[in-house]
Each structure stands twice: as structure tokens, then as C-alpha cells.
Amino acid sequence: MKKPIEKLFAHKDDKIIHVIGIINENELKTAFIVDKNKKLLGIVNDGDIRRAILKNISLTEPVEKIMSKTFFVAKEGVSETEILETIIRHKIFILPILNNMKQVVDYYQITDFIKDEFLKETVKTKTKPETSKKILVTGGAGYIGSTLVRILLDSGYSVRVLDNLSFGISAIKELESNPYFELIQGDYTKIEDLLPCLKNIFAVIHLAAIVGDPAGNINPELTLETNFHGVKILAEFCKYYGIDRFIFTSTCSVYGASDNELLTENSNLNPVSLYAETKLKAEKSLVELKSNNFHPCILRLATVFGLSYRMRFDLVVNLLTALAVKNKEISIFSGEQWRPFVHVKDIANAILNIVNQPVEKVSGQIFNIGKEENNYQIKDLGNFIKKMFPGIKVNKINSKEDQRSYRVSFDKSHKILNFKPEIDLEQGINEIFEFVKKTDVNIKDNQYSNFKKVQCGIFDSIYFAE
């Protein structure tokens, strides 16, 4: 059903934040800026809002500052056939209809020409969580998120998940009956999906991203939009709406190619991939936003391994172990690179630790999350697996394709947070080995790879691991 035209109206002197409310309430991504006589002066859509935020324009500025003054319109009395042709030809989402006095009297959108049964419902779960502190987890149906959500629920928090469900709902399906759990299917980079999720939220844990170097390189513009622009916009809205706790998962990949010294949070950064660059840009934007009422905390995660409810077999430890089971043979490319490793459950517990800390203790802080004993060279992983499972053949292939090499110190998180991961590499390899052996899972299925979900390619390569 169409919204009354007046619900789309705003005035040029209205604050941008007021117009955001109009856009969100009318669900059309658009507001018409009119004068007191309803004469159309300009149009603002969610894209204009996003660009304004990225240009650091304050949400309290008049909307006139960002409204578009060039737009398509149709005159009153034009046939629906002509209107539909205009919308399709110019790829317009919404078309205002003006009378002879240039007043907005109606509008059309593409969905006016689509039958209701083709419209999609995005809210998968409409529960009414209890009134305990509610946390928004973006990407909560993913590899880390599906484990984290359960730990938060077990710790007494209510959880709202915002996830586009690109890997399906199975990882959190069993949680739908939990009254403290709420799932909203949507894209956090879209304002109309995001804003309803911020209501009554105590903290935001931002996991959603295009994760890993290979996946990030497939569509650079999308990676920048998702991993940087989207984060900045999400943080700006959290700050405006008074959600002071914001936990952001970054990556130790920001250290990039380095010498063999043990790297701390203050070490020089040398990202060598688009994925790492976008994470670093997001880190910097969050630190700049820190204030008395907004407290971002950045976690640089070591390379993850271990079993989760949404498994990944494009991570180096998981992949090598699975290949050892399936093929009785693995290949190590170069192998001189250093990597720190951390179990997915330890990451979830680290995030819970941050949530439970006094906000002033973690505000604006960056913490490496991992275990120093889990710093290994890639070639050591092959030796590790061969030692644990005799009979596995390990091929070593000389290659300089992957330049990332970093050994990382986790002393800061241990001293300040009193947090240290509990699961070592041997435990993780064992659990994956047993899982693959018992379940006979198809590790080449697209659902287990962030990279293959976007683009099919060679799978038995170490370079498809984060």
C-alpha cells in the first residue's frame, strides 16, 4: 500500500537527521524536499545520506546542503505506461508526479508495477526478546558470529543479529525459538536495513565484512564499500543514537609484510592486500570518532581456526587438516611466512571479555587477539600435521606469491584484559580432523569458502586462506 504523499515531505531547513527518519519510516529510501506550498525543491535518498556522512557533514546540518536539485519528474495526467517506461529507461527508483504549479501530488516506484507476491519479506524472526541488555551482532550467522551469539546468550545477554544470510540460516536456525534472540535479514550498509536494528541496543559487535584477501580482491569497489564505508556509516549512527559501546573486528593482516620481530599494537603497519587496507581505514575512522559518548574498541584477530556452526575450509589450518583427511597429502606454498593463530571460540570469549569490561578501560583501544604460542611458520603447520598423523605426505612448493609474514605479541590483551586464549593448535587440528573423518563433509562445497561463494576457482591452494 502506498504511503500518503505527505509522509515523504521534508523542508529545506530540516536537519539531515530528521530527514533520515522520514526516509526510514516511509521505507522508500527517498524524501521530497518541498517549500511551504509543496513545490518540489529537491530530492534526498539514502545514497545522499551515505555520501554526506563519508564527507563528514554533520547530521545536524540543514538537508538543503545535500539535496539533489536535478531529478526526473512526470507531469500529472501522464499514463502509467509512460511512467513505467521512464522508470525503466532511466533506472529510477521513485518518480515524483507534479501538477502545473510544480507541486508534488503523487509518486510512482517500480514496485507499483509488481504483484505483491513477488515482494520479499526480510524479517525472518519476529520475536520479542526480554529486557536484558541487548547486543547487535552484524554478521551473526557467520563463522565467528554463530559461535559468539551462543556465548552471549549463555552469558545472559539478549542478541539481535543483522545478517544478509548469504551462507544461509542453518548456523543459527536452532536459536529462533530462544526469546532472547532476534534475527533480521538485511545488509548493514543499507540505511533502511540498519536503522531499525539500532533500537534499544546496548552495544554493537561488528563482524560483517568481506573477509580474506582473495575474496576482497574479486570486487574491490564492493570490498571498500563493505569494509570501510559501511563501517564508518554504522559507527556514525551508533554515535548519534547514543550506543556508546562499539567492538570492531579487524585483522593482524594489517601488519602485512614485516621482519621477524614480535609485533605489538604500536608496531609499524604494512598492509599488502586490499582486505587489510580497508580494515586499517576502518580502524582509523573509528579512532577519530571516539568521544565521551562513543567508545570504539578494535580487535586485531590472528588467523582463525577451529570448528564452528558455520564452517570454513578456506582458512589455512582448517583447509590443510581437511585435505590431510581427504587426500592423505597436502601442499605447502613457500612456507617461510609467519602467522599467528587463534581458535574461533577464543575470539568469541575475547569479545565477551570486552563487553564485560568497564567502558573507560577499552575505549579507543586496539588489542591483538591470539596466543603467542600459536605463532607458527606455514611450513611448521605441515610438519605439525605430519607429526600428528603419520602417513600424510607433505609437498613443499617454492612460491613468493604471498608476501604476508608477521609474528604477533598478545601481551597487551593479557595484561589489560586478563585474557589469554585457551585452545592451542594441536587441539584445533584434532577436532577438525575428527569432524571431517566422521562426517565425510564435502570441503569443496561453496558454502564452506568465503572466496568460492563469490567466485569459483582452484580450492587446494594456501592462498585462499586469510
User: What is the helix, strand, coil percentage profile of the chain, to 5?
Assistant: 40, 25, 35
Provide the grid cell at 390: 603419520
Please tell me whether residues 309 and 441 are part of one structural domain: yes
Average pLDDT over every residue of 15-27: 85
Are 247 and 368 in the same domain?
yes
Query: Which residue did the predictor score with more confidence, 287 or 6?
Result: 287
CA-to-CA distance for 227 and 189, rounded, in angstroms? 9
pLDDT of the residue at 117: 34
Q: Would you state the pLDDT for residue 132? A: 62
Choosing from 96, 118, 140, the residue where a domain stops is 118
**CATH number for 414:** 3.40.50.720
pTM score:
0.78
The distance of Cα 50 from the centroid of its chain, to the nearest Å, equals: 17
The residue-averaged pLDDT of 145-154 equals: 97
Tell me the sheet residues that pair with 74: 97
What pLDDT score was predicted for residue 456? 35
Rounded average pLDDT over 212-219 = 58
The grid cell for 375 is 605463532
On the question of pLDDT at 122 being above 60, the answer is no
Comparing C-alpha atoms, which of 255, 268, 282, 276 is closest to residue 375?
255
Report, as an integer, the average pLDDT of 122-131: 44
Distance of CA 347 to the CA centre of its chain: 16
Same domain, 303 and 421: yes
pLDDT at site 116: 40
- Per-residue model confidence (pLDDT) at position 372: 92
Q: Give the pLDDT mean for 24-52.
A: 86
Lowest mean pLDDT, pick from 217-231, 320-334, 356-370, 429-443: 217-231
Q: Of 41-45, 175-179, 387-391, which gets the smallest average pLDDT?
A: 387-391
Q: Could you say which DSSP state residue 121 is in?
A: P
Q: What is the CATH number of the domain that holds 61?
A: 3.10.580.10
Q: Is the pLDDT of residue 192 over 90?
A: no
Whether 214 has a pLDDT exceeding 80, the answer reads no
User: Rg for the chain (alpha carbons), in Å?
Assistant: 25
Q: Which domain holds residue 450?
A: 209-464
Domain boundary among 83, 99, 118: 118
The pLDDT value recorded for residue 449 is: 74
pLDDT single digits (tens) 370-402: 999 999 988 888 888 888 888 888 888 876 656
* Tens-place pLDDT, residues 312-333: 998 989 999 999 988 888 888 7
Task: State the virtual CA torsion across 450, 451, 454, 455 in degrees, nearest 10.
Answer: -150
Q: Taking all residues of the chain, what is their mean pLDDT, rounded to a whole number?
A: 85
Q: What is the mean pLDDT of residues 287-295?
A: 93
Q: Would you place residue 27 in the very low, low, confident or very high pLDDT band (cuts 50, 70, 90)?
A: low
H-helix segments, 368-424: 378-388, 411-416
CA distances from 387 to 394, 426, 429 (A): 11, 11, 12
108 and 248 in a single domain? The answer is no
What is the percent of the chain with per-residue pLDDT over 90, rounded to a whole number? 48
- Residue 326 is assigned to a structural domain of this protein: yes
CA 211 distance to own-chain centroid:
9
| DSSP helix/strand/coil, 180 | coil
Is 132 within a domain? no
List alpha helices for 195-229, DSSP H: 213-218, 220-224
pLDDT at 466 over 50: no
Question: 93-114, pLDDT tens digit by residue?
Answer: 788 999 998 899 998 876 666 4
pLDDT band per the 50, 70, 90 thresholds, residue 218? low
Do both 105 and 213 map to the same domain? no
* Short-list 303, 296, 289, CA closest to 59: 289
222 and 81 inside one domain: no
% residues pLDDT > 70 (the chain): 87
Which stretch of 121-130, 170-179, 208-217, 231-240 has the lowest confidence by average pLDDT? 121-130
140 within a domain of the structure (yes/no)? no
- pLDDT exceeds cutoff 90 at 263: yes
Is 100 a domain residue? yes
Shared domain for 298 and 437, answered yes or no, is yes
**What was the pLDDT predicted at 204?**
98
Residue 165 lies in a domain: no
More confident residue, 43 or 109: 43
Rounded Cα–Cα distance for residues 285 and 129 (Å): 32
**Helix locations, 229-315, DSSP H:** 230-240, 274-289
Q: Give the amino acid at 334.
A: S
Residues 75 and 220 placed together within one structural domain of the fold: no
Average of per-residue pLDDT across 176-199: 90
Number of structural domains in the chain: 2
Count CB neighbours of 115 within 10 A. 7
Q: Tell me the CB-side half-sphere exposure of residue 434, using CA atoms within 13 A.
A: 8
Asked if residue 253 belongs to a domain, the reply is: yes
How confident is the model over 263-279, as a mean pLDDT?
91
Q: Is residue 262 included in any domain, yes or no?
A: yes
Query: What's residue 109's pLDDT?
Result: 77
The beta-carbon contacts of 34-41 under 8 Å, at least 24 apart in sequence, are 34/9, 34/10, 34/103, 34/104, 35/11, 36/11, 37/101, 37/103, 38/9, 38/103, 38/104, 39/101, 39/102, 39/103, 40/73, 40/96, 40/98, 40/102, 40/103, 40/104, 41/12, 41/67, 41/69
| Residue type at position 205 | I
Q: Which of 51, 83, 118 is the last residue of a domain?
A: 118
The answer to whether residue 415 sits within a structural domain is yes
Nearest to 312 by CA among 279, 273, 343, 288: 343
Q: For the chain, how far is it from start to end, CA to CA, in angstroms?
A: 46
State the CB neighbour count (10 A cutoff) for residue 195. 17
370 and 221 inside one domain: yes
How large is the angle between the packed helices 425-439 and 378-388, nearest 10 degrees? 60
